[in-house]
Structure 1
Amino acid sequence: MADIIVRPARPEDKAAWRDMRAALYGEDPSLLTDVEGYFAGDPMIAAAFIAQDGSHVGFVELSLRNYAEGCVSSPVPYVEGLYVAQGARRRNVGRLLIAAAEDWARTNGFTEMASDTQIENEASLGAHQAYGFSEVERIACLRKRLD
C-alpha cells in the first residue's frame, strides 16, 4: 500500500474532489460550483484538504460558523464534509485529514473545532470520537413546508 499524503486542495483536484463530494452527498449540480467557488475565493469553504495514495482517496472541508453547539469561541472551524473512499478506510486517512484540519485551525488562531453527524450514523459518531471530538448535544431537526 502506498503512503497517504494529505495536502491542501489544488485546482488540479477539482474533478476528483467533485467525484468524492458526489459519493458523499449524492449528485447535485452545486457540487462542482462549490469546488469552483473555493478556488475563486468564495468563503463558503474556508479550507479543504485532499488525501492521496497515488489516487484521490479522501477530503475534508471546513467552513467558519458563527455558532457551533458546545463551542465557546466564534467563529468556529466546522467540519462540513469528511470523506474517505471505501477502499481506503481503516488506513488512518480520516485521522490524517482531521489532523490537517486541526493544524490549519491552530495556525489561524482557532482554539476549537466542531462537526456533526446524523444521530443514527454510529460509524461516523465512533470515528469522530476516535478523532478526539466529544458529543455535546443531540437534536432533531424539523421542517414545515409553507405553500
Structure 2
Amino acid sequence: MMADIVVREMRPEDKAVWRDMRAALYGEDPSLLGEVEGYFAGDPMIARAFIAEDGGPIGFVELSLRNYAEGCDSSPVPYVEGLYVAESARRRNVGRLLMTAAENWARANGFAEMASDTQIENEVSLGAHHAYGFTEVERIACLRKALD
C-alpha cells in the first residue's frame, strides 16, 4: 500500500542503510560508498538524495547537477545518478514516489528539466523511465582503448 511509504531527504543517521542500498545497486566499490560521507560533508558530487521507507529503508534516489546532459537545453541539469528499490518493494510505485520527490526538489530550486541514463539493454529501467515521463533522446556506445 502506497500510503505507508514515506519519502524524505537523506539524514546523517541514514548513512549505513544508504551505503547498504548503494552496495546492492553498484557493488562494493569503496569510491562509490565513500560518496555517502561526502554528501554530509558538503561534497557537491551528490546534490540531493532521498530515501523511501516503509517500516525500514526500501529505496533511494540520488541527483547530481551536471553542466551538460544529452538532449537538455539548460545548464546545470539535475541528473538521476542512482535509483534503487529493494526487490521486496518493487511494483509498489516506490520508484515513482522517489522520482516525484526528486522532481519536486528540482522544481523548487528553479530547474526546468531533469536527465538520466541507463544501459541500452536494461528494458526494465527504460520502461520505468518512460513511465516516469522521461523521453529517450539519444543512444550511444561507449568505447575504451588501453594505451600501453
Query: Aligning the two structures, in what range does the TM-score lie when normalised by the shorter sequence?
Result: over 0.9
Partner residue of 1:50? Answer: 51
How does 1:50-89 map onto structure 2 within 5 Å?
50-89=51-90
Partner residue of 2:41? Answer: 40
Post-superposition CA distance 1:49-96 (Å, at most 9, x none) = 000001100000000000000000000000000000000000100000
> Partners in 2 of 1:31 and 1:65 — Cα distance?
17
Instruction: Please report how far the alpha carbon of residue 146 of structure 1 lies from its aligned counterpart in structure 2 after TM superposition.
Output: 1.5
Report whether the alignment pairs 1:6 with 2:12: no
How does 1:67-146 map onto structure 2 within 5 Å?
67-146=68-147
What percent identity do the matched residue pairs reach? 84
Moved over 2 A (4+): none
Letter of the 2:129 counterpart: H
> Partners in 1 of 2:15 and 2:33 — Cα distance?
8
Letter of the 1:120 counterpart: E
Q: CA RMSD in A?
A: 0.9
Instruction: Please report how far the alpha carbon of residue 120 of structure 1 lies from its aligned counterpart in structure 2 after TM superposition.
Output: 0.1
Letter of the 1:75 counterpart: P
Instruction: Please report how far the alpha carbon of residue 31 of structure 1 lies from its aligned counterpart in structure 2 after TM superposition.
Output: 3.1
Instruction: Please report how far the alpha carbon of residue 29 of structure 1 lies from its aligned counterpart in structure 2 after TM superposition.
Output: 1.1
- Retained in 1: the 8 A contact 2:23–2:33? no
**TM-score, normalised relative to structure 2:** 0.97
Instruction: Please report how far the alpha carbon of residue 32 of structure 1 lies from its aligned counterpart in structure 2 after TM superposition.
Output: 2.9
> Partners in 1 of 2:23 and 2:132 — Cα distance?
24
Letter of the 1:101 counterpart: A
Letter of the 2:7 counterpart: V
Post-superposition CA distance 1:101-141 (Å, at most 9, x none) = 00000010000000000000000000000000000000000
Instruction: Give the number of equivalent residue pairs.
Output: 147
Gaps of 5+ in 1: none
**TM-score, normalised relative to structure 1:** 0.98
Aligned-partner SS, 1:73: coil
